[in-house]
Structure 1
Amino acid sequence: MGHYYDIDDILIEEELVSVVFQKAANGVGILDPGAETSTVEQGSKVELPFWLAHELHLRQAVSVNVPACFDQKTRKEIQADAACVDLRNRCAYFYELGCKIAPLVGDKTIGALLLYAFKSRYKDVLIKAHTAAFSLAPKFMTLLTNEETNLYEAAQSSMAAFKRWRMGGARFQRAAVLGKKRRPDD
Structure 2
Amino acid sequence: MARYFDIDDIIMEDELISVVYQVGANGVGLLDPGAERNCVEQGAKVELPFWLAHELHMRQAVVVSAPPCFNQKTRKEIQADAAFVDLRSRCPYFYEFGCKVAPLIGDRTIGSFLLYAFTGRYKEVLSKAHSSAFITTSKYLTLLTKEETQLYEAARSSMTAFKKWRVGGPRFERASILRKRKPTD
| TM, length-normalised to structure 2 | 0.95
1:108 and 2:108 are equivalent in the alignment: yes
- Helix, strand or coil at the partner of 1:167: helix
The answer to whether the Cα contact below 8 Å between 2:17 and 2:67 also exists between their aligned partners in 1 is: yes
* Separation (CA, whole Å) in 1 of partners of 2:37 and 2:13: 27
RMSD: 1.4
Q: Tell me, in whole angstroms, the C-alpha distance in 2 between the residues paired with 1:182 and 1:57.
A: 75
Aligned residue number for residue 126 of structure 1: 126
Does the 8 Å CA contact 2:16/2:47 hold for their aligned counterparts?
yes
Unaligned stretches of 5+ residues in structure 2: none
Say if 2:52 is the partner of 1:61. no
Pairing of 1:144-183 with structure 2 (within 5 A): 144-181=144-181
Aligned length: 184
After TM superposition, give the deviation of residue 34 of structure 1 in Å: 5.0
Query: Deviation string for 1:75-99 (max 9, x for gaps)?
Result: 1111111012110010000001000
**Percent identity at matched positions?**
69
Q: SS at 1:17's partner residue?
A: strand
Aligned to 2:10: 10
The change in CA–CA distance for 1:182 and 1:85 in structure 2 (over 3 A counts) is: same
**When the two structures are superposed, what TM-score results if normalisation uses the length of structure 1?**
0.95
Segments ≥4 residues shifted beyond 3 Å: none
The separation in 2 between residues aligned to 1:127 and 1:41, in whole angstroms, is 52
The answer as to 2:78 corresponding to 1:92 is no
Q: In 1, distance between residues paired with 2:42 and 2:151?
A: 43
| 1:78 has 2:66 as partner | no
Equivalent residue of 1:136, what SS? helix
Q: Which whole-Å deviations, capped at 9, do the CAs of 1:82-140 have from their partners, x for residues lacking one?
A: 01211001000000100000001000000000000000000000001111111111110
**2: CA distance between counterparts of 1:33 and 1:139?**
36
Quick check: 2:32–2:40 contact (8 Å CA) kept in 1?
no
